Amino acid sequence: MSKILWHKTTGRGPNLVLLHGWGFSSEIFQSLVERYKQSYRITVIDLPGHGKSSDVDGGIDDWCAEIIKLIPDKSTLLGWSLGGLLSIYIASKLTIEHLVLVATTPNLVNKNNWKIGMKNEVFHQFASNLKSDSTKNLKRFVNLQSKNKTQVKQLYEAIQKYPPSESALSIGLDILLNSDLREIYKSINIPKSAILGTLDTLVPDTIEDWYKDNNTKTYILRSGHLPFLDEEFELPKQI
Annotation says 225 is catalytic: yes
- Identity at 106, one-letter amino acid code: P
Q: Which of 81, 87, 134, 193 is catalytic?
A: 81
Distance between CA 83 and CA 212 in Å, rounded?
21
Other Cβ atoms less than 10 A from the Cβ of 168: the count is 24
What is the pairing mode between strands 98-102 and 217-221? Answer: unpaired
**Residue pair 205/220 in contact by the 8 Å Cβ criterion:** yes
Annotation says 2 is catalytic: no
Other Cβ atoms less than 10 A from the Cβ of 101: the count is 28
Distance between CA 22 and CA 231 in Å, rounded?
23
Distance of CA 162 to the CA centre of its chain: 17
Q: Which of 20, 200, 205, 223 is catalytic?
A: 200
Annotation says 200 is catalytic: yes
So which residues are the catalytic ones? 81, 200, 225
